[in-house]
């Protein structure tokens, strides 16, 4: 008979903070989560709602009581550091700087950012432009205590960052700044051609090309499309190409790492609660078997 061993994994889902920071914390607690992700502002951009310091303090108090891990902020999809339109780049720079200040107040130390779409300029030019803009932003992020996590993409259209080598090139272009890392997404990696059903090989590639120490968050999603599809269509866990076995291949290896794991599956709060319970139950079961 095995002794129950609870996983130390930080796991949660993407939630809305439209009703306030504390409401997002409470919703996550109800799901059985101990972290969550939220948009820094409307995902299509625009003005951000004024912060309520009392609401934030109340939410942080609940987090401390419940043993939450680090939270993950996600920048709007409209941000693009390598856009062919100067006004889009200016918009991105201005709003990211404001986001850093807001996250400092909220006590959130990492923000996921889509690298950008080069719009026909070419991947090499996109990488150069992104690095140039990040070199201006990173001192501001460091001052705010925020780490920028470039999200690996599926490779649709002119997306930059679908290959580990592209993410590494951006990081190298910023002198491997300590406030610059990556977020890996199981759906995106599959679309980009990385076979998570052979996770050990994928992890070795991340370590060799980027460095595992640069990974600051994981987006946990199944995918509607197959390996190398270059499509970004999330599916609920076990209901897509990866299946439960593919998901567990990865989770068994990272379960004890201090890495926020965020569900972005097309789901309700009740659905997220079920997925969180499935992940934790299967990891605990595996730990008991190994014990």
Instruction: Report DSSP state, residue 51.
Output: P
Considering the domain boundaries, does residue 270 fall inside one?
A: yes
Considering the domain boundaries, does residue 50 fall inside one?
A: yes
Task: Output the pLDDT for position 2.
Answer: 26
Task: Output the pLDDT for position 256.
Answer: 79
Considering the domain boundaries, does residue 3 fall inside one?
A: no
Q: What is the CATH number of the domain that holds 41?
A: 3.20.20.150
Considering the domain boundaries, does residue 61 fall inside one?
A: yes
pTM of the model: 0.94
Considering the domain boundaries, does residue 146 fall inside one?
A: yes
Pairing of strands 234-235, 222-223: antiparallel
Under 8 Å between Cβ of 96 and 59: no
Task: Output the pLDDT for position 237.
Answer: 97
Residue 275: domain span: 11-290
Considering the domain boundaries, does residue 117 fall inside one?
A: yes
Domain count, the chain: 1
| Per-position pLDDT tens, the chain of length 291 | 222 334 579 999 999 999 999 999 999 999 999 999 999 998 877 788 899 999 999 999 999 999 999 999 999 999 999 999 999 999 999 999 999 999 999 999 999 999 999 999 999 999 999 999 999 999 999 999 999 999 999 999 999 999 999 999 999 999 999 999 999 999 999 999 999 999 999 999 999 999 999 999 999 999 999 999 999 999 999 999 999 999 998 888 888 788 999 999 999 999 999 999 999 998 765 544 444
Considering the domain boundaries, does residue 6 fall inside one?
A: no
Considering the domain boundaries, does residue 254 fall inside one?
A: yes
Task: Output the pLDDT for position 6.
Answer: 44
The greatest distance separating any two alpha carbons of the chain, rounded to the nearest whole angstrom, comes to 64
């Amino acid at each position: 008979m095995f002794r129950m061993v609870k996983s130390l994994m930080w796991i949660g889902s993407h939630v809305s903070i439209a009703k306030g920071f504390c409401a997002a914390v409470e919703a996550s607690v109800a799901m059985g989560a101990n972290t969550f992700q939220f948009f820094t502002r409307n995902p299509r951009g625009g003005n951000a709602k004024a912060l309520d310091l009392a609401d934030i303090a109340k939410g942080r108090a609940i987090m401390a009581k419940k043993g939450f891990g680090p939270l993950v902020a996600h920048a709007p999809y409209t941000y693009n550091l390598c856009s062919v339109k100067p006004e889009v780049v200016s918009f991105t720079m201005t709003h990211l700087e404001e986001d850093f200040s807001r996250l400092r107040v909220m006590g959130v130390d990492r923000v996921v950012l889509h690298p950008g779409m080069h719009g026909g300029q070419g991947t090499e030019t996109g990488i150069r432009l992104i690095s140039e803009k990040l070199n201006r932003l990173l001192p501001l992020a460091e001052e705010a205590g925020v780490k920028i996590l470039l999200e690996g993409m599926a490779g649709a259209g002119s997306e930059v960052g679908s290959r580990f080598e592209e993410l590494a090139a951006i990081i190298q272009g910023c002198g491997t700044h300590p406030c610059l890392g990556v977020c890996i997404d199981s759906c995106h990696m599959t679309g980009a051609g990385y076979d998570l059903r052979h996770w050990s090989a994928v992890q070795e590639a991340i370590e060799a090309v980027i460095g595992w120490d640069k990974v600051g968050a994981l987006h946990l999603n199944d995918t509607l499309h197959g390996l190398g599809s270059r499509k970004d269509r999330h599916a609920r866990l076990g209901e897509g190409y990866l299946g439960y076995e593919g998901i567990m291949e990865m989770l068994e290896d990272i379960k004890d790492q201090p890495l926020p794991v965020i569900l972005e599956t097309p789901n309700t709060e009740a659905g997220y609660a079920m997925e969180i319970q499935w992940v934790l139950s299967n990891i605990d079961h595996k730990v008991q078997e190994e014990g």
